[in-house]
Amino acid sequence: KAGVTQTPRYLIKTRGQQVTLSCSPISGHRSVSWYQQTPGQGLQFLFEYFSETQRNKGNFPGRFSGRQFSNSRSEMNVSTLELGDSALYLCASSWTSTGPDTQYFGPGTRLTVL
């Protein structure tokens, strides 16, 4: 069974631009979560989607948004990029709708903001 895939793997943008990252969950998984990983703050929860609905959101500004499609694929968008948005963005998928179950992570998209 294929794992979680994320595209693109690497991205370089400049301040003020916007970016869209994509995540395809493991087949059959309906929950998709997004995390930001930086050396200073570690892994931080952004938001979680289940059946196209955002169920939970972390403590990030409104510039960070996401959505989930009917096939469970998910995208996250960051508008008006700042230097501090440079990070590894990880997507994780899981099967059940309740409990953290077991989340399987993708390889991440490394975003560099210049």
- Site residues, another protein (CB under 8 A): 4, 33, 35, 41-48, 50, 55-56, 58, 90, 92, 98-100, 102-108, 110
- Nearer of residues 14 and 54 to another protein, judged by Cβ: 54
Q: What is the Cα–Cα distance from 66 to 114, expressed in whole angstroms? A: 23
Phi and psi at 11, nearest 5°, equal -150, 135
Closest distance to another protein from the beta carbon of 31 (Å): 9
Q: What is the closest distance, in whole angstroms, from the C-beta atom of residue 26 to another protein in the complex?
A: 12
String of DSSP letters for 10-63 = EEEE-TT--EEEEEEPPTT--EEEEEEEETTTEEEEEEEEETTEEEEE-S--TT
Nearer CB in complex with another protein: 41/77: 41
Judged by beta carbon, residue 19 or residue 32, the one nearer another protein is 32
Minimum separation from the CB atom of position 8 to another protein (A): 14
